[in-house]
Structure formats: structure tokens, C-alpha cells
Amino acid sequence: MEARIARSTVVAPLAGGDHGRVATDSREPAVEVVGLTKRYGAVWALAGLDLSVERGECVALLGPNGAGKTTTVEILEGYRTPTAGSVSVLGKDPGRAGEAWRARIGIVLQDATDQGLLTVGEVVRHFAAYYPSPRDPEEVIAAVGLVEKRSTRVVGLSGGQRRRLDVALGLVGRPELLFLDEPTTGFDPEARRQFWELIAALRKDGTTILLTTHYLDEAEHLADRVAMVVAGRVAATGTPASLRSGPTVVSWRDAGGALRREETATPTQFVTALAAHFGGEVPELAVQPRTLEDAYLRLLSAEGALA
């Protein structure tokens, strides 16, 4: 197992983010959003979203499709203007911020098919030239595991490789704050694990990261904090552990042969009572801590977002 992991780790280390030298107030949050709303025609995509991301923190926006994750990120990136609410990203209003502000953020787009006729190397080198202190393009290409594809035209990349190029273009400007909109969609499990390693390395360098995902394991693995977005609001926020914490899940098969599942704050008492009920062994008994998925699904059904 260990050997397999070691061999598969083609991700090269990335030089430091060097954000210590940045003459900005690192005590103020990287992202501060209060009462954000966004309306498209008659549809409210965001209905009063609050969010705060500290410097150096990795926060995951978790939620079903259409919950408002992408709209939120696009407002923070400066692409869209909110209908109401206050937004501050690295101390600026993204809607009015200029080139100097854009040099400090990195954006990984969700559904791009651009730059197809250029090679991976050409694209990364070209975009590096836009930034005042970019990362070494070769280093970034290595970091996303595309060294062998350096001279391949972008149209010739697989879906997963294309996404890794998107990540490379988000990183090349040495951003203080990196936006990742569903970064691992279309990745195979191996590419996903490599991507997680890359994000872990960036976090170590102090890069602030805001990502959206609908993979629970991804949020749990990467994020310091998870904000669950449901129907244009943050329905719950906290560390993955705190969101998970709560009742224990006890499951068993009842006399009728159906699989039963109960959440309880007093599992010992519950199991004792269950044992008494069965007069001994409980069929297929399992006692487990609540998973993030349990918490997530409960939240969705409570908000009526689950059909």
C-alpha cells in the first residue's frame, strides 16, 4: 500500500507562496460576505448568504446543484454583481477592484474549453506573463502532473488533464486567495488524490482557498471549515468534525427482515434496550459515529431541498 502511494505521487513540490511579505493586513478576513442576495429575473439564486474566510483558511462550499455555490463564487471573483449585500475580498469590493487586485487572486474555472490550439507549456507561460510575481511555469506544470503533456496541444488533453491545466492557470500567478469551482469533477480517483495533495501543499504555504464541491469526502478531506449551502443560504457551517458530531447511528435488522436505523445520543442505553428486546443477539447490529453525509442529508431534508 505504502509503495503504491509513493509511486503514484508524481506531484512535484511547489515553491512557497511567499505571502509573508505582502504588505496587507493579514488579520482582516480574506473573504467577508454579509446578507448576499442575487436575483435572476424572478429567481432568487442567493437569499441572504453570510460567509467569512480567514487568511490561510480552506473553506468548502458544499451543496446540491442550484444551491447558489457558483453564483457566490462568481460574485467573489468579480464576475457578477450582487443584487444586495456587502462583499469584501482581500479588502476590496470585487465588482470595483482592478488589475492589482486580480493579481492577488487565482480562479479555476468550471467549464472552460479555451486555448485549445496552444500547447500546455505555451498556455501556462503566457498566463504567467500577466502577473507581477508569477510562479515558475515549469514548476506549476510539474505540480499539476502535466510534465509529459508539456508540448501537447490543449485539445489533445483528456478531461481530467484539462481540469489540471485549469488548476495550473489558477496557481501560476501565485495567488493569495484561490477559488476552485468544483475542481475535481471528471477526475479519476487517482487524479483526485493527487489534486488533494496539491491543495494540501498550497495550504501549507498559507494560500487561502475557497472551493465548491458536491463531494462530501472532498470537503471533509480538504477543508478546515465547511459551509453547507442550501437554497441560497448557508444552512450550517463548522469544521467537518463539528458538523459530524451529534447523535450516534445504530443500525440493525428487525424481526420483519427490514434494515433499521436510529440516531441516538445515548447509544449504550439504546443497544441495551435493543438487546433486551431481541432477548440476546441483535441481527446485523452496527454502532457508528454520524458521518458528514448523515449530517448533510439530514440538513437537506430539513430544508426541503431533497425530493
Partner 1 sequence: MSSVALAPTPHGTPAVPSWRRALGIGWLRVGVELKELVRSPMALMFTVLFPLILFVIFGSVFTGYVAPGVTFSQYFAAGMIASGAFYAGFQNLAIAVPLERDNRTLKRLRGTPMPPAAYFIGKTGSVIAVYVVQVALLIGLGSLFGDLHPPAAAGQWLTFAWVSLLGLAATSLCGLAASGLIRRSEGAAAIVSPVVVVLQFISGVFFQYNHLPTWMHDIASVFPLRWLALGMRSVFLPARFAAFEPGGGGWQHGLTAVVLAVWAVVGFVVAARRFRWFNEPRGQAFSPRRRRGTMSP
List residues binding partner 1 (CB under 8 A): 13-16, 18, 21-23, 40-41, 43, 45, 71, 77-79, 99-105, 107, 109, 111-118, 122, 126-127, 129-133, 153, 169, 173-174, 176, 201, 204-205
Find out whether 121 and 106 touch, Cβ atoms under 8 Å.
no
The Cα–Cα gap between 65 and 18 comes to 35
> How many CB atoms sit inside 10 A of residue 29's CB?
17
Q: Which is nearer to partner 1, 166 or 294 (CB)?
A: 166
Angle subtended at Cα 42 by Cα 36 and Cα 44, rounded to the nearest 5 degrees: 25
Q: How far is CA 192 from the centre of its chain?
A: 12
CB of 98 to partner 1, least distance (A): 8
Of 127 and 296, nearer to partner 1 (C-beta) is 127
CB of residue 272 to partner 1, shortest distance in Å: 50
Report the nearest approach of partner 1 to the CB of residue 247 (Å).
38
Of 54 and 136, CB closest to partner 1: 136
Rounded CA gap, 262 and 132, in Å? 57
Sheet strands side by side (includes 43-53): 43-53, 31-40, 84-89
What is the smallest separation between the CB atom of 106 and partner 1, expressed in angstroms? 9
CB nearer partner 1, residue 88 or residue 291: 88
Nearest distance from C-beta of residue 294 to partner 1, angstroms: 32
- State the amino acid at position 244 in one-letter form: R
Q: Please tell me whether residue 144 adopts helix, strand or coil conformation.
A: coil
- In the complex with partner 1, the residue whose CB is nearer, 122 or 224, is 122
